[in-house]
Amino acid sequence: MEKKPSLFFFVILDIESLSREEIELIMATGGEMKKIMKSGMKKADYLKGKSVITLFYEASTRTRTSFESAGKYLGAHVVNINTASSSVTKGECLKDTVLVLENMDCDGVIIRTPMEGASVYAAKVGKPVVINAGDGAHAHPSQALLDLFTLREYGKKDLQGLKMVIVGDILYSRVARSNIAMWKKFGADIHVCGPMTLLPHDISALGVTVDARVEDALRDADVVDVLRIQLERQKNGLFPTPREYSRQYGVNDERLALCKKDVVILHPGPMNRGLEISYGVGYCGNAAIRDQVNNGVAVRMALLNLTLGGGEAK
């Protein structure tokens, strides 16, 4: 897809199509946006006069609320569409829905869907800026961007050669795909670990090391991204029982001790505590999980500002 000839974006669909220069711009803009968030006056007029619509075909707490907050903090008019109470339930297709929003002069649509490629399609058929807020198992670019922003805050400024581990349900995980794409751009040594039934058949083509034992994956890790077991997407029988999964792959205090002392623990949320991550690890000093949520707002402010015309932070 053709890009505008500047460091302004008109779609954010995946990590693969962002250059390192563009990612650095998003990081820098996110830093400026965080200052607005923390200033005590969460109000700027960068997006005054712009309208943003969140169109979520799947449940969300963090992503939808942070895009809504981000738009409002920057002065945009934000409307949320819950597809369960929209004309989607009457059979309206994605193209017609996007065109309806376009006909309302909406400037930007933030889309989450279970359909891989739906945001790419929406960007093709409609004029509004499209930001992919997660499409099936394909991509969750804003999550990978906020994860990078958070890692830098935790001192992981250069990912070159760092041992970065993703544990869990890689097969159904758009977070894993986007983070692998991001971390590869920055030269990390990426390891993945999970039940064979939850690994994509082409996992080695992604340029990662597959560790069969979680202990091997976690040993001397600099960063661990614990993935949610997506019970809503899975067929039954991909692992024997939640208890068995937790015993074999759960990140607990004992396994945390195998990592480097300054390991950063990420989790995109929502956490199944006691399943893929223990209560202790979820709230330990190495866990950046609450900061990920906080930074999600700042990074999404940056994305809205860079796509909807506010451009670089002043």
Shortest reach from residue 138's CB to ligand CP, in Å = 13
Listed in sequence order, the residues at least 6 apart from 186 whose beta carbon sits closer than 8 Å to its beta carbon are 20, 148, 158, 159, 160
Residue with tokens 């040993």: 219
Whichever of 63 and 179 has its CB closer to ligand CP, that residue is 63
Binding map of ligand CP across residues 211-250, x = CB under 6 A, - = no contact: ----------------------------------------
Binding map of ligand CP across residues 66-105, x = CB under 6 A, - = no contact: ----------------------------------------
Site size toward ligand CP (CB under 6 A) is 9
Q: Does 113 bind ligand CP (CB under 6 A)?
A: no
Nearest-angstrom CA–CA distance, 40 and 302: 18
Whichever of 109 and 313 has its CB closer to ligand CP, that residue is 109
Kindly list the distances between the CA atom of residue 89 and the CA atoms of 43, 85, 86, 111, 176, in Å, as whole numbers in the listed order. Answer: 35, 7, 6, 17, 30
Query: Which one among 29, 51, 63, 307 touches ligand CP, defined by CB under 6 A?
Result: 63
Shortest reach from residue 63's CB to ligand CP, in Å = 3
* Listed residue (217, 307, 228) closest to 275, CA to CA: 228
Binding map of ligand CP across residues 261-280, x = CB under 6 A, - = no contact: -------xxx----------
Whichever of 268 and 310 has its CB closer to ligand CP, that residue is 268
Whichever of 60 and 286 has its CB closer to ligand CP, that residue is 60
Judged on CB neighbours under 10 Å (0-12, 13-18, 19+), 178 is buried
DSSP per-residue string spanning 25-68 = HHHHHHHHHHHHHHTS-----TTTT-EEEEEESS--SHHHHHHH
Whichever of 68 and 222 has its CB closer to ligand CP, that residue is 68
Burial 222-233 (b: 16+ CB within 10 A, else e): bbbbbbbbbeee
Shortest reach from residue 40's CB to ligand CP, in Å = 26
Shortest reach from residue 219's CB to ligand CP, in Å = 27
Binding map of ligand CP across residues 43-62, x = CB under 6 A, - = no contact: -----------------xxx
Nearest-angstrom CA–CA distance, 307 and 46: 12
Nearest-angstrom CA–CA distance, 169 and 226: 9
Q: Which residues bind ligand CP (CB under 6 A)?
A: 60-63, 134, 143, 268-270
